[in-house]
Structure 1
Amino acid sequence: MSLYLLLKTLHILSSTLLFGTGLGSAYYALRAWRSGNLQAISVTFRHLVTADWLFIATTAVFQPLSGLALAKLAGWPLNQLWLLWSVGLYLFAGLCWLPVLWLQIRVRDMAAQALRDDTPLPEQAQRYMRLWFALGWPAFLAFIVIFWLMVAKPL
């Protein structure tokens, strides 16, 4: 296998892990939140934050590095519009994810504290979850467009 094909395979697997972990995390976080079960929220968000650090953060670093290496190996000029749009959308999604990660950490901590104190979640957790949800959609849609750009290379 050539270096290009190996790197392309790793790039695809990494993007799958990044997108799949994000989508799965969002699903389970939303299900736990909507259950209203404080124990479920606490456990889910504890694991969610860990998964974000283990899988999303690592693949988020690998993606642009492997993408740049692929472009270089393929001889693609870095000023192609599909590449520029992909990078821009990737940065946009990352700018959505960073506050989402902070919100998840805060909700995790609030849920753990509420469990320890045997109190309900503070109203601030509800506000954080609304913002979490609002930031998730644009990032999700950005990744859909990025996948399309990577496959079609239209511009």
Structure 2
Amino acid sequence: KEKKARVEDAMHATKAAVEEGIVPGGGVALLRAIPAVDKVSAEGDALVGVGIVRRSLEEPLRQIANNAGEEGSVIVRDVLAQTGANGFNAATGKMVDLVASGVMDPAKVTKTALLNAASIAGLMLTTEALVSEVKEKEEKGGGPDAGMGGGMGGMY
């Protein structure tokens, strides 16, 4: 089942890439959009919103770096100093040309994810109540140690 799901995912990603092209993966495409956000002139609450959007564009790369055992904020800073498709390859831990290294995303998928995130954020801001799941503490399975020593009893 997992293999079938992977094949379907690859097929859909390829179709999306053919439709709208590809962008560097690993969150770099979103980071490269930050200068456009920085050019938006706003005041008051709108300025706060622009800041939130700017910060949200950094978050995918920050999480990828954290998951790879790196300090996310440092990696974001380093990638922002790079240009083009250069970014952090979590598999190697190095700064590389991501497209040349095969780390890319369909532009349609990246765009849709950003639009959906903005839509959900807008709904959350205009909703009077929000229902969320509370994670329950998981009990450790199994019983206490039986107190039996190792080896065969009576053999010294």
Q: Using structure 1 for the length normalisation, give the TM-score.
A: 0.31
**Larger Cα Rg: Structure 1 or Structure 2?**
2
Q: Quick one: higher RCO (CA 8 Å, sep 6+), 1 or 2?
A: 1
Bigger proportion of residues as helix: 1
Bigger proportion of residues as strand: 2
